[in-house]
Structure 1
């Protein structure tokens, strides 16, 4: 890209002056950032063009990854790293009196995701490009993303996320490739060449305008694409109320996950989902048409992957295009659709397996509903042939039943592959949650354990650890992360363990400064940094973590002889705006923090920190500094988890349930190098199926639990009123759905064991080394190669 520092400096200064028409000395840091981003994007444009041309001329099969979220994080540093010029640019900028870190701070995290789902999608795009696989992402260009989280008096307050206020230097608007998307209206039937045909009329049309972003592979010429769709008014809309039409249109790409507690919000969410798939499939088919001839061969050249249930409308939309626009018969269209599209399931939570009320779905998407209805009729006939008179099974498996359209059912029936994202998750899908479907389509079910890109989460986020590893085992692991296993031989090397401890301490110092600057809280850098950062949800059990902190607080207050190793508990989490229970947990977290941090008897041993507005760039500071990774979801509820992988890769030890990928982490590192506790998945599922759990028994027979629960409602936390009654009632009146009280004693015992191990630094860092050494398996490069080989059937394509 740049052959020398001098060449880079010359190109950079020229770009800066051309963009802003002023001397370098007069430019702002923001202008310097935008100039560097523009320079990088323009410099790789040749590779971007060459990549697309190579795919086109070679007629390579390509995968299109449809996801409602892409949690990219900041791209400047990551792109420079992947291009192999980060050090050169950093040195060149420093000679100009500019710190690269200052320019990186100017970049606002792209507001395109919420949690693990979006971060996984971003990792997958990185791995596709790095492995020279032809693959692109399709998503929505949310104007305000999820929301900016502020904590005011301990409560979450949501503000619009203004990530686009200074523009997005990485995107290229393709107004000429805008696609019309239709809502509402009605369907007319007519005869043509002795065939019954359908057309959507009197529709409300909006325009989907694509913005393309380059996805740069690591030290390769491959540059794939992330296409994000923005909703804009159609050029000639037929609409009586123009202002309302404009507002309704722009709302489609304004916020990620609008509040769907009412019908208006549900309509907007369903609009978003159809908007994404209609625009994406139109774009894909148009591109295919230019390169190939028969649509009957589509699945030989195109793979479409739907990331969770949000893009499942791709199935009926593909059918609509093939039948209504291309004139194919039902059976031909169905064969192409099912062979082209594949599906990843990310959850066993029933509320997350989307179900849309017919009274919303049918009028909003009239032609799509007709197609879904026909798919359902044909599927139910298939079930009747297999299970005659078994009405209960057919009702259970139907795509439309009880006036609900079940998206997960449609996803399984309308695709050739359904995969889970961890071994235990895939087994639960096959033998419990989707057992009925597995019995008739066993060949469609498979597992692809999630992974993360070590380029962002180790090389970029933790350069000190990266250097330490490379000094020990060479740099082959950067290209082949599975070779990190060579590091295992250093677990008993005293000198290496000491160096690792120093790296960890250095990262803790950086995070401690961030905490002080952001919250004013001074933390003990020698304390155990115990971290739980993830989306706030009841099943993830931040509540269990909080109860353990309250337990420690109470013990320290009651018993002057009780001693613990000093610990800093760090939280980061957003609660969905309409998820009131989760918001109460955030308030409890901050109330506990206020209590603990201001108690002079306790705060030498305990500190509690809530870092607001958790995001990718903040995670890059938190994860390298972490000692203990809290992965404590109710067993069987977390499909996989990817935070657990990022933490272990940076040398943290996992405190976790036997859930999701925690099980595979334990299998890799050995049971002695992870801390596990609580119910097993089988025990949890047995309770759900057969009953037998009474949370009141734990309340009455465990004085620590009783004290903690009473503190929620007896005024222990001043000025909180009845804030925590909802939590109290959920545990006792509603029988503790996620077994917080059941697992409490086991969790406290595991935490005590962990504290004891930490006292012996040699033992602790031996375990830390083993965790790093075994983390290579959890690279997204491995995961994506499995998708490419077993589901999408892609070949690697070298651009040069």
Structure 2
């Protein structure tokens, strides 16, 4: 058998075409690949094939071409002993892969033409791809942009996360209410992932610890687990743009170590026979279970620890493959914590180094601190994760011991710096005292990392001066700002090809990798022909969205109206409700004066509310109820339309950003860490109406005050107003239009079947108003009137639109990643040379050494 295998292998290696076919980018090779994959992988020919079959055939063909680059990329990293970035994130909202891969490989137009000649349209195949919804919104989408930039900048990197069987739910709207439907994104297979069962790892949960002294007299701890779960990695290639680099997104699936208990089955306990399998697979079953119950919180903690432990064990395996020990792990691995979800990694790495690899505490702590960096993504104190000590100890008993030891040593250090300041010590402690002790994960991340960063200039200042002030006082050298960015490949080149082509016509292609080049567009703002083409592109993009809305929502939209768009996760601090108050204000003006002149507007919303977030779901219901009334009222006469886009996603975002005239970024000042939707809108030429919050501050600085609609309280004004005593009813009593708006809502005008339905919203605004909508209402209404006046001056609006795009170069994720690389990770690009790739020359080394021995 071994001789036959060797003969077949050498015969294959000698036949150039057979090996070249999987990597050849020529038109003929691609056409053959599509046909062969349709036949051999899908088992169909053109007589039986569906659109899904054609999509799968094309996807496998493109993945084949990524695989060779991925292999050469990995080989190059090993040969050069490159320091690697390991990006740990509970969310990766990647979007569809096919279009992005074609763009980055430079094959988009070629494949589109090949398919067209065969009677197929690429756009139709792109729509067949099930979108992996492995994230809630901004956090997961940022991680995806970062992976794209890491590969484009040729930075050695691996993204680590969870292969959720069910991603974020599919959103349906029934009678105006959000309904959650399971996201079965894997139902028809996933051609982009490659399972790696040979790299599986075991993860312990529960049980207890035993303390002992080893043969050398050292104090040791042994964790006796209650259960063991297996982590199976699935790899997705992440190609860079116009480069040979293809990095990896490695997602972990949970499986049972013992799938079937025959003893329980024989005893008639049929549930018990598969109980372990059910428990284990639940861990990677669904993105973020509802944590309103103790069972949900347990599962969420298990999820976070599961993917962190799998990833760290994998990182150690990779390191020991080329190094004799772990002593220099921190010099070869930069581990980035994307928010607090993976913060347990600090305790887990300590456990692995001390318990499994027999290091001293001091050596392990030096490696851990110097390997980890922590990105904070929130200014909401309630979003900083805490776990009850009892829950934590039950699931992760060894880690609780390690955290207590970290805390003991840390607080001793704090006491030497601030002797007698017990309030400060209490504030800094990793354990929050109280009725129920809590483990503070953000504190663990701050203590166990060598770098802490915010994601916008304002956000970082608020971290240093408010949220993490005590840590900043203690470790000012750890803190820096890394303003977020987005990848222009997906959000301009793929999402807005008409505009991208115009920019390329004027600037060449360099802007795609160097977005600062967009500044050169400023030279064309006085070019009447350029402005007209810019406007026609916006109209064409709006028409595409009009068609989508008509097809999916049955609402006719005026293409010449101002497209006023707010798409983001539904949350009270993002203030979709303030937007609704403006809509009702305009509607009331029309009802009072039916012939009043009002700029035609189409208000477009999109976003999902967490399943357990009642108020956010009630706001979705209000938006849809207002739409039902406004869209059907003959007095409105097409001047106002309201649309709620169901099941908002990355691919839908590509349509929306390209079509937007006005970008709503209206969160309460001091609540949004950064935002990235604001960048995508501005990059596509939409103007922003916004508060001085998050990255809005930097967008305003870049595009200029004349090209931005600013309103609302500042952070300092919010703080001062709350400190002096905020009384929302004052604004209600002194503003007639605001009174009318809230009375319409409170008295059931938009819910005649249940007049009291929206009273919780009104009561919240009048008696609490945590996010200060009442205080900002009039400023927002006045600013929206400025928007209307500006839109009437078409030529000046186009100028402002061009300048928004031209001045957003700094908001590329490439810039953000360069800053991480230079200032936090200390990593350098590694060029992948395909000319030296042995596969390219057909001198393939077999997986087994065949020349001098036989395989038995």
Normalising to structure 2: TM-score of the pair? Answer: 0.92
**Aligned partners of 2:189 and 2:650: how far apart in 1?**
19
**Aligned partners of 2:761 and 2:273: how far apart in 1?**
46
Kindly indicate whether the alpha-carbon contact (under 8 Å) linking 2:749 and 2:755 is maintained by their aligned counterparts in 1.
no
Q: 1:89-488 counterparts in 2 under 5 A? A: 89-192=111-214, 193-235=216-258, 241-402=272-433, 403-488=437-522
**Aligned partners of 1:371 and 1:291: how far apart in 2?**
29
**Aligned partners of 1:531 and 1:387: how far apart in 2?**
50
**Aligned partners of 2:102 and 2:476: how far apart in 1?**
44
Distance 1:274 1:757, change over 3 A: same
Select which of 534, 555, 558 maps to 2:592: 558
Q: How many positions carry a matched residue from both structures?
A: 798
Q: Which residue of 1 aligns with 2:804?
A: 771
Q: Which residue of 2 aligns with 1:616?
A: 650
**Aligned partners of 2:107 and 2:501: how far apart in 1?**
17
Select which of 788, 792, 800 maps to 2:825: 792
**Aligned partners of 1:450 and 1:654: how far apart in 2?**
17
Kindly provide the CA deviation profile for residues 604-645 of structure 1, in whole angstroms up to 9, marking residues without a partner as x: 110000011000011111110000000000011101000011
Kindly provide the CA deviation profile for residues 509-564 of structure 1, in whole angstroms up to 9, marking residues without a partner as x: 01001001111000101000000000000000000000000100001101234221
Q: 1:582-731 counterparts in 2 under 5 A? A: 582-688=616-722, 690-717=723-750, 718-731=752-765
Q: How far off its partner does 1:472 sit?
A: 1.8
Q: Equivalent residue of 1:189, what SS?
A: strand
Select which of 502, 506, 510 maps to 2:536: 502
Q: How far off its partner does 1:699 sit?
A: 1.1
Q: How far off its partner does 1:250 sit?
A: 1.5
**Aligned partners of 1:21 and 1:631: how far apart in 2?**
49
Distance 1:565 1:529, change over 3 A: same
Worse-superposed segment, 311-320 or 489-498: 489-498
**Aligned partners of 2:775 and 2:43: how far apart in 1?**
66
**Aligned partners of 2:321 and 2:283: how far apart in 1?**
29
**Aligned partners of 1:304 and 1:655: how far apart in 2?**
37
Q: Equivalent residue of 1:535, what SS?
A: coil
Worse-superposed segment, 463-472 or 709-718: 709-718
Q: How far off its partner does 1:712 sit?
A: 2.1
**Aligned partners of 2:466 and 2:510: how far apart in 1?**
42
Q: Equivalent residue of 2:693, what SS?
A: coil
**Aligned partners of 1:20 and 1:692: how far apart in 2?**
67
Q: Equivalent residue of 2:327, what SS?
A: helix
Kindly indicate whether the alpha-carbon contact (under 8 Å) linking 2:337 and 2:343 is maintained by their aligned counterparts in 1.
yes
Q: How far off its partner does 1:704 sit?
A: 1.3
Q: Equivalent residue of 1:206, what SS?
A: strand
Q: How far off its partner does 1:493 sit?
A: 1.6
Kindly indicate whether the alpha-carbon contact (under 8 Å) linking 1:422 and 1:660 is maintained by their aligned counterparts in 2.
yes
Q: Equivalent residue of 1:26, what SS?
A: coil
Q: Equivalent residue of 2:674, what SS?
A: coil
Q: Which residue of 1 aligns with 2:778?
A: 745
Select which of 568, 574, 592 maps to 2:608: 574
Kindly provide the CA deviation profile for residues 375-425 of structure 1, in whole angstroms up to 9, marking residues without a partner as x: 111111111111222111111111102201111111111000000000000
Q: Which residue of 1 aligns with 2:788?
A: 755
Q: Equivalent residue of 2:127, what SS?
A: helix
Q: Equivalent residue of 1:137, what SS?
A: strand
Q: 1:33-44 counterparts in 2 under 5 A? A: 33-44=55-66
Q: Which residue of 1 aligns with 2:75?
A: 53
Kindly provide the CA deviation profile for residues 134-165 of structure 1, in whole angstroms up to 9, marking residues without a partner as x: 01100100111110100000000001001110
Kindly indicate whether the alpha-carbon contact (under 8 Å) linking 1:596 and 1:603 is maintained by their aligned counterparts in 2.
no
Q: How far off its partner does 1:237 sit?
A: 8.3
Q: How far off its partner does 1:54 sit?
A: 0.7
Q: Equivalent residue of 2:155, what SS?
A: coil
Distance 1:3 1:229, change over 3 A: closer
Worse-superposed segment, 789-798 or 239-248: 239-248
Kindly provide the CA deviation profile for residues 287-309 of structure 1, in whole angstroms up to 9, marking residues without a partner as x: 10111123121111011001000
**Aligned partners of 1:615 and 1:283: how far apart in 2?**
31
Q: How far off its partner does 1:246 sit?
A: 2.3
Worse-superposed segment, 613-622 or 490-499: 490-499
Normalising to structure 1: TM-score of the pair? Answer: 0.98
Kindly indicate whether the alpha-carbon contact (under 8 Å) linking 1:486 and 1:773 is maintained by their aligned counterparts in 2.
yes
Kindly indicate whether the alpha-carbon contact (under 8 Å) linking 2:454 and 2:482 is maintained by their aligned counterparts in 1.
yes
Q: Provide structure 1 residue ranges, at least 5 long, that are not aligned to the other structure.
A: none
**Aligned partners of 2:452 and 2:43: how far apart in 1?**
54
Kindly indicate whether the alpha-carbon contact (under 8 Å) linking 1:5 and 1:91 is maintained by their aligned counterparts in 2.
no
**Aligned partners of 1:522 and 1:784: how far apart in 2?**
42
Kindly provide the CA deviation profile for residues 728-749 of structure 1, in whole angstroms up to 9, marking residues without a partner as x: 1211122x10010100000000
Kindly indicate whether the alpha-carbon contact (under 8 Å) linking 2:660 and 2:686 is maintained by their aligned counterparts in 1.
yes
Query: Max radius of gyration: which structure?
Result: 2
Is residue 547 of structure 2 the alignment partner of residue 516 of structure 1? no
Q: Which residue of 1 aligns with 2:3?
A: none
Distance 1:35 1:669, change over 3 A: same
Q: Which residue of 2 aligns with 1:780?
A: 813
Q: How far off its partner does 1:721 sit?
A: 4.2
**Aligned partners of 1:465 and 1:354: how far apart in 2?**
41
**Aligned partners of 1:10 and 1:435: how far apart in 2?**
61
Kindly provide the CA deviation profile for residues 462-499 of structure 1, in whole angstroms up to 9, marking residues without a partner as x: 11101111122222212211111000111122111111
**Aligned partners of 1:202 and 1:352: how far apart in 2?**
30
Kindly indicate whether the alpha-carbon contact (under 8 Å) linking 1:636 and 1:685 is maintained by their aligned counterparts in 2.
no
**Aligned partners of 1:407 and 1:178: how far apart in 2?**
27
